Amino acid sequence: MRLVKEGIVLPFYADKSLVALAERLAGERPEWRAHAAQINGGNTEMADALRIGIPAITLAGMTPEGAFPYWHMLSDTYDKMEPEVMERAYAFTWQYIQALDQANA
């Protein structure tokens, strides 16, 4: 999942070039099931970076409906992890970092 918008009162939008990279990679590898999402009523560290002018995007494990299952809850325990989902998230994130490095080389 690529978080493209978040915010409590003021909306924060992920950097357009970082979103474009995520969209390109997700389109090239549909088996990753990476999707864009938004949250309302909360922020991630992306908002902190954007506030001070640092281009940012959040990569997080959200459902297509925009929910963070078990996020910051006592029920967020190892037995809830799904290995196949973790493998897809890792593959997407690793490719994203490599593509970002190549673009900035």
38-82 pLDDT, tens digit per residue, is 887 778 899 999 999 999 999 988 887 777 888 788 998 989 888
pLDDT bin (cut points 50, 70, 90) of residue 37 is confident
Contact 61, 89 (CB under 8 A): yes
DSSP 10: S
Name the domain count of the chain: 1
In sequence order, the 6+-apart residues with CB closer than 8 A to the CB of 79 are: none
Share of the chain above pLDDT 90, in %: 56
pTM of the predicted protein model: 0.84
Q: Which residue has the higher pLDDT, 9 or 94?
A: 94
58-59/36-38 β-pairing? unpaired
| Domain with 42 in it | 2-103
